[in-house]
Chains A and B, each alone.
Chain A
Amino acid sequence: MKNFWKAALPIIVIFLLWQVVSDMQIWSSYVLPGPGQVFRSFWAMVKSGVLLLHILVSLWRVLTGFLIAFVLAFLLGILAGVRPASAPYYRHIVEFMRNVPPLSLIALLILWFGIGETSKVIIIVLASFFPMFLNIKKGLASCDIKLLEVGHSLGFNKIQKFCRIMLPHALPDILVGMRVGLGYSWRAIIGAEMIAASRGLGYLILDAQQMSRSDKVIVGIFVIGIVGYLCDCLFSLAIRKALHGGVDNSWS
């Protein structure tokens, strides 16, 4: 309960300040709409179902791109983690692509794939692939040789060593990579939707801006932050559960 109030206090202070400043009408309600106005817009969008639609569209895109990125990152991560000698073949390309912001590719992607779902899913794949790939690679490559020797002593073959020792050993890194990748893809989709979309939370913000509805822009920002935060919380909960049923410090 104490922690709840510690977390709630700064939020309450920010909202109070916001209310006070908007009541003082230093800026017009177009520049800074008050919390009440924002909440009314939010409620209207909830009731009409528009907000849920935008959220679901964005979430669906994130999920699709994220899953494709995970499969790719997993397969290539296995190759890179289990066969470190293959690094020279891909290292430079990976480093090059990692440093290119996915949004910078949007113009080309629209040109090649149109403004449909494909270009946005590719943006998410590009955004979430690298943290997952690098973490999966690291997790597998850093497997404790002593544990692999235990597998050897128990007569395990290579596949058994991989599935029963290397993979579980790499699980914390894989999950951390997925968590980071999910955050990246969430941020990337909002950007992509602001450039080329007719639905989704990014589009909601851009549309509201063009209609001079600052209150809706703020609703969009809040929803993006809250949905992203909730996804992250769910993921960290899953990580805790996946790693030994949540036993503290049970990972060496």
Chain B
Amino acid sequence: MENLCKSYRVAEKQLKVLDGLTVEFPEQSITVILGRSGCGKTTLLRVLGGFEEYDSGTLLRPPLHKMGMVFQEPRLMPWLTVWKNVIFGLPKAQVDPDRIRELINTVGLVGFENAYPAQLSGGMQQRAALARALAYDPELILMDEPFAALDHFIREAMQDELLRIFSVHKKSIIFVTHSIDEALLLGQKILVLDQGRVEQEFSLESFDYPRDILSPELIDVKKNIIKIITQRSIT
């Protein structure tokens, strides 16, 4: 992604959301995009996913990349059961019931396979949406604050699960969050975004999983990130 610009027209004003963004997203790695609300995180992800056009710049994607997305909201098909939602992206011939059962088990929805989205809590819906994206088996997963609606314990379990899936399948993951702790737990590369620009990049590849975010090194990184974000908010 080189010198990428994207702006919206809001109330007769041109609002620049991505302002000459130049980033490289490593393959088979978890890249976390971190920033405050309105900094352009979601727009960046939507441009990467091809949901939105960009105004100028260059965006190069690896050829034949199967891409999946987990949105901020579950976006389940309300007329389908959990099971059918999970296999929604798969051609019938590719549905492996054992694998789907395993995925449903992974996201903790065993016993709810035949439930409809309206019968589930918000957190359960989000987990079903995660299972749907994983069932699609993409090489690149875009995740837009997927765990924001989950409670602390389920969020932790899902983060662990994401790391497990990553360590086994080596997917490329681009993960958007506004939680610094989540970024530190998951990211091999953290991009701090502000006003449509990358303020700072942090490489955490040397930190093995599972990480202790209370370790002195990660606390230092956290302090740095907080400093950058608060400095920008003052200026």
A247 to chain B, nearest CB (A): 5
Classify the interface of chain A: helix, strand, loop or mixed.
helix
B78 at the interface (CB under 8 A from A): yes
- Whether the pair A250, B116 counts as a contact (CB closer than 8 A) is yes
B66 at the interface (CB under 8 A from A): yes
- Whether the pair B71, A149 counts as a contact (CB closer than 8 A) is yes
- Whether the pair A252, B117 counts as a contact (CB closer than 8 A) is yes
* Bound CA–CA A168/B66 (angstroms): 25
A-B contact count (CB 8 A): 62
Closest residue of chain B to A248 (Cβ to Cβ) is: B118
Q: In the complex, which residues of chain A have a beta carbon less than 8 angstroms from the beta carbon of B50? A: 152
A139 to chain B, nearest CB (A): 12
Q: A146-B75, A149-B51, A165-B77 are in contact. Are A252 and B68 (CB under 8 A)?
A: no
- Whether the pair A146, B68 counts as a contact (CB closer than 8 A) is no
A111 at the interface (CB under 8 A from B): no
* Bound CA–CA A152/B119 (angstroms): 26
Taking CB atoms and an 8 Å cut-off, the chain A residues in 68-99 that contact chain B are none
Closest residue of chain A to B142 (Cβ to Cβ) is: A153
Q: A147-B77, A168-B79, A243-B79 are in contact. Are A154 and B116 (CB under 8 A)?
A: no
- Whether the pair B89, A154 counts as a contact (CB closer than 8 A) is yes
- Whether the pair A249, B73 counts as a contact (CB closer than 8 A) is no
B136 at the interface (CB under 8 A from A): yes
In-complex Cβ contact of B73 among A146, A152, A169 (8 A): A146
A10 at the interface (CB under 8 A from B): no
Q: In the complex, which residues of chain B have a beta carbon less than 8 angstroms from the beta carbon of A250? A: 78-79, 116-119
Classify the interface of chain B: helix, strand, loop or mixed.
loop
B202 at the interface (CB under 8 A from A): no
Closest residue of chain A to B67 (Cβ to Cβ) is: A153
Q: How many residues of B contact A (CB 8 A)?
A: 23
In-complex Cβ contact of B66 among A155, A164, A165, A251 (8 A): A155
Q: In the complex, which residues of chain A have a beta carbon less than 8 angstroms from the beta carbon of B79? A: 168-169, 171, 243-244, 250-251
- Whether the pair B78, A252 counts as a contact (CB closer than 8 A) is yes
Q: In the complex, which residues of chain A have a beta carbon less than 8 angstroms from the beta carbon of B75? A: 146-147, 149-150
Q: In the complex, which residues of chain B have a beta carbon less than 8 angstroms from the beta carbon of A153? A: 49, 51, 67-69, 71, 89, 133, 142
Taking CB atoms and an 8 Å cut-off, the chain A residues in 149-170 that contact chain B are 149-150, 152-156, 164-165, 168-169
B167 to chain A, nearest CB (A): 24
- Whether the pair B69, A251 counts as a contact (CB closer than 8 A) is no
B83 to chain A, nearest CB (A): 13
A53 to chain B, nearest CB (A): 41
Taking CB atoms and an 8 Å cut-off, the chain B residues in 145-188 that contact chain A are none
Taking CB atoms and an 8 Å cut-off, the chain A residues in 108-161 that contact chain B are 146-147, 149-150, 152-156
Q: A residues near B, CB below 8 A?
A: 146-147, 149-150, 152-156, 164-165, 168-169, 171, 243-244, 247, 249-252
Q: B residues near A, CB below 8 A?
A: 49-51, 66-69, 71, 73, 75, 77-80, 88-89, 116-119, 133, 136, 142
